Structure 1
């Protein structure tokens, strides 16, 4: 039986949000964390691992023109942290088009709206921290 040993590269990633494909993305990261701790009782070794709440967070790294296109949808006194919750789809698309993996981040919100540019920068890359309420994979 043959199987594909190729790994996904950045050129295989497609990001969509707010009704359009994002073409000026420079990076994306997201993670699910779950609180866990050892349950200690008699003796020095833990008896079990107890778990608690989950949290979902990450960041989008976009070029300034992409960020300004999103900001153009806002009122003059609003910033990206005021956007209504939205979904972000991150698809890993092999060159042959088969075996696509899509992660959908649900109810995404930006937690910051930063800007930074330095002397001799050729473009502005903006890292936007996000939090979201869940991830579905298909």
Structure 2
């Protein structure tokens, strides 16, 4: 048995996020998931007979620094907010410098922001903004 001390896991430094034609540099977090409605099909007896499937709901969050959010705001007219942005795509890639041939890429299609918020508290050194998103489809490339 061999022991490899180099972690094969991706780290935050390996993440690259492309959105609206540019690589995000002032991003602090990304989260995306697909949920699916499921419920037991109950019939005779007390045990389920099957699992029934329903709709899928893709959703997530982008956590950006204020300067990145304000750059997005400049794409809009003064009376619009980020929820008015037309649908766009986000590409999230995980690229290890030590293994550039091992790239994991996900494309989020038809992304829209569901909230536009700002919050800053006493003592904060910078503003970190978490923006919930919804999207139509996630593709693995």
Q: TM-score interval w.r.t. the shorter chain?
A: over 0.9
Q: Any runs of at least 4 consecutive aligned residues in structure 1 with deviations exceeding 4 A, and if so which?
A: 2-5
Deviations 1:9-54 (A, max 9, x none): 0000000000100000000001001100000000000000000100
Show the counterpart of 2:56: 54
Give the gaps of 5 or more residues in structure 2.
none
CA distance in structure 1 between the partners assigned to 2:8 and 2:53 by the alignment: 35
Inter-partner Cα distance in structure 2 for 1:98 and 1:114: 38
Q: Which of 9, 12, 16 in structure 2 is aligned with 1:10?
A: 12
Equivalent position to 1:75, from 77, 85, 96: 77
Q: TM-score, normalised by structure 1?
A: 0.96
Is the partner of 1:81 in helix, strand or coil? helix
Q: Normalized against structure 2, the TM-score is what? A: 0.94
The DSSP-based 3-state class of the residue aligned with 1:42 is coil
What is the root-mean-square deviation of aligned Cα atoms in Å? Answer: 1.4
Alignment: residue pair count = 137
Name the structure 2 match of 1:109: 112
Gaps of 5+ in 1: none
Displacement, 1:5? 5.2
Map of 1:64 onto structure 2: 66
